[in-house]
Amino acid sequence: MEVNAPMAVTAPVERRIAARFRVRWPGFVLDVDLDLPGRGVTALFGHSGSGKTTLLRCIAGLQRGDEACLRFGDETWDDQQAGVFVPTHKRPIGYVFQEASLFPHLSVASNLAFGQKRVVAAERRVSLEAAVALLGIGHLLERMPETLSGGERQRVGIARALLTSPRLLLMDEPLAALDLKRKNEILPYLERLHDELDIPVLYVSHSPDEVARLADHVVLLDQGRVVAQGGLVETLARLDLPTAFTEDAGVVIESVVGEHDEHYHLTRLDFPGGNVLVARRPEAVGHRLRFRVHARDVSLATARAEGSSITNLLPATVVEVAPADTLAHVLVRLDAGGTPLVARIARRSCDQLGVVAGCRMWAQIKTVALLG
C-alpha cells in the first residue's frame, strides 16, 4: 500500500482553507478570520477598497501581514507566531491577474510551456492538451500576444496558470479589464473550470453578475472586514447585508430543465418550491441551469392573480420584512417551498397587503435572468 500517495489528487477528503490576517496601512486595516471550503469557487466580493486584493495577495504570500496564519488542508503556509512562511514560488498556487501579463516576445505555445516548466513532470496534474482544450485556445498556439484580443490573452493567462498544476487557483478580477463582449466570451470558460476541474478557486470581484454566475461560496468584505460569508444562495437572500440595499439585490436559484413547450417556444425550469417559464433553451431536459431573480422584479399578492400576463407565480411564506435603501420601500424575504426569494415593494403596499412574517403570499416574478 502506498502510504505516501498524494491525497489532494485522488482522495475525497474535504479540504479547508483557514486564513487569519491583519494588515495595517495608513487609513486602512484588513482584519479577517476565514474558514473557507477547499472545493468550488469562493468569491471575495465587495466594493473597491474593501480589501479583496490585499487578502488575495496575503494568501499568495505577496503581502506580509502584521498578524498572519494560513493553512491549506493539513499544510501550514504562513504562521507568524510559529515563524513559518512558505514563499510564493513554493506555494502550489496559480495566480491570474486583471491583465494576462504574457511574455510579449514568446508565442502562446511558449508562454504555456513556461508555466508548465515550473513543475517537474512527475508532479504535473494538468496536461498541456487538457489546458488548451479547456480554454479553447488550440487555434492560438502559434500567435504572438500582441495579435490577441483581451479575452484571448486572458484565456491564455488562465491556461498558463493551470499548467503550474496548482492546488489552489487565485483570480484577481480577471474580467475587470475587458469590455462586455469579451466578458461574455470568457465567462463560459470560467464555468468550465468550475465544472471540470477539482481545483478550488478564490475569485475576487465587485460584479454581482459574475458572483451570481460563478460562485458557490461568498465572502462579503467591507472596509477590510468580513461582513458575511456562506453559501451563495443563502448569503444573497439575507436582508441585513449591504448587498440587499442595492439595485442588484436578489437571489440565485439552481434549477433543472423540466420540459420544452415547442408550441409557445418556452422552457420550464424546475426547482424546490415550483417552476418558472423562460424563452426556449437549447439544453436537454435534465440539464442544470442557474438563474437570478432581482428583488425589483418580484411583486406580491394575497391571492393568485387571474387574467394577468405574469405567468411565473409561486406560493410563498413571508420570512422577514426589513427596511430598504429608501423610506418608500421595504425588502421582503420569502420562502417558496425551500427556495428563498426577495421582493422589493412599496412600504405603502406592504401595509395595505398586511405583509408580516408568517403570512402566505403569492410571489409574482416578472423577469428571470438566466446565468450561462
Q: Are β-strands 288-294 and 298-301 bridged in parallel, bridged antiparallel, or unpaired?
A: unpaired
- Phi/psi of residue 4, nearest 5 degrees: -100, 15
Last residue of a domain, one of 187, 215, 234: 234
Do the domain assignments include residue 282?
A: no
Is this model's pTM higher than 0.85 or not? yes
- Whether residue 197 is found in the same domain as residue 316: no
Hey, which of 68-72, 173-177, 184-188 has the most confident mean pLDDT? 68-72
Domain end among 217, 234, 251? 234
pLDDT at residue 13 in the model: 52
Are 163 and 65 members of one domain? yes
- The answer to whether residue 274 sits within a structural domain is no
Q: For residue 356, give the CATH number of its domain.
A: 2.40.50.100
Confirm if 253 and 339 have CB atoms less than 8 A apart.
yes
User: Based on the domain organization, do 345 and 223 belong to the same domain?
Assistant: no
Least confident of 149-153, 163-167, 238-242: 238-242
Closest alpha carbon to 174 in 165, 186, 159, 192: 186
What DSSP designation does 277 have?
Answer: E
Rounded-to-integer distance, Cα 137 and Cα 44, Å = 28
Q: Which of the listed residues 213, 234, 255 is the one where a domain comes to its end?
A: 234
* Res. 5: pLDDT tops 60: no
The residues, ordered by sequence, that sit 6+ positions from 343 with a Cβ below 8 Å of its Cβ are 295, 298, 299, 300, 331, 332, 334, 363
In total, how many domains does the chain have? Answer: 2
- Which ranges of the chain would DSSP assign to H, the alpha helix? 7-10, 52-60, 108-116, 128-135, 150-162, 180-196, 208-214, 232-236, 347-353
Residues 6 or more apart from 339 whose CB is under 8 A from it? 253, 271, 272, 273, 274, 314
Residues 148 and 31 in one domain: yes
Percent of the chain with pLDDT over 90: 75
Task: Confirm whether 79 is domain-assigned.
Answer: yes
Cα–Cα distance, 220 to 209 (Å, whole number)? 14
Other Cβ atoms less than 10 A from the Cβ of 254: the count is: 14
Same domain? 213 vs 349: no
Does 344 fall in a domain? yes
Q: What is the mean pLDDT of residues 75-98?
A: 94
Classify residue 251: in a domain, yes or no: no
**Residues 31, 118: one domain?**
yes
Nearest in space to 44 (alpha carbons), one of 194, 187, 220: 220
Residues 222, 146 within the same domain? yes
- Which domain covers residue 298, as residue numbers? 290-371
Answer whether residue 279 shows pLDDT above 70.
yes
pLDDT at 3 over 80: no
- In this structure, the answer to whether residues 218 and 333 fall within a common structural domain is no
What is the grid cell recorded at 282? 437549447
Evaluate if residue 358 carries a pLDDT over 50.
yes
Same domain, 217 and 319: no
Amino acid at 327: L
Average pLDDT score over residue span 173-194: 88
**pLDDT band, residue 177 (cuts 50/70/90):** confident
Cα separation of 161 and 368, whole Å? Answer: 35
Q: In the prediction, which pLDDT does 14 show?
A: 63
| Whether 168 contacts 72, CB under 8 Å | yes
At 99, which CATH number?
3.40.50.300
3-state SS of 59-110? HHCCCCCCEEEEEECCEEEEECCCCEECCHHHCCEEEECCCCCCCCCCCHHH
Q: Which residue has the cell 449591504?
A: 242
Q: Are residues 120 and 189 in the same domain?
A: yes
- Does residue 3 lie within any of the structural domains? no
Q: Say if residue 182 is in the same domain as residue 312.
A: no
206 and 139 in a common domain: yes
Q: What is the pLDDT of residue 255?
A: 96
Cβ-based neighbours of 98, under 8 Å, separated by 6 or more? 172, 173, 174, 176, 177
The b-or-e profile of 154-173 (16+ CB within 10 A means b, else e) is bbbbbbbbbbbbbbbbbbbb
Residue 172 host element (H or E): strand 168-172
Given a cut of 80, is residue 33 above it in pLDDT? yes
Residue 285 lies in a domain: no
The per-residue pLDDT for 51 is 95
Let me know if residue 240 belongs to a domain.
no
If DSSP codes are grouped into helix, strand and coil, which group holds residue 337? coil
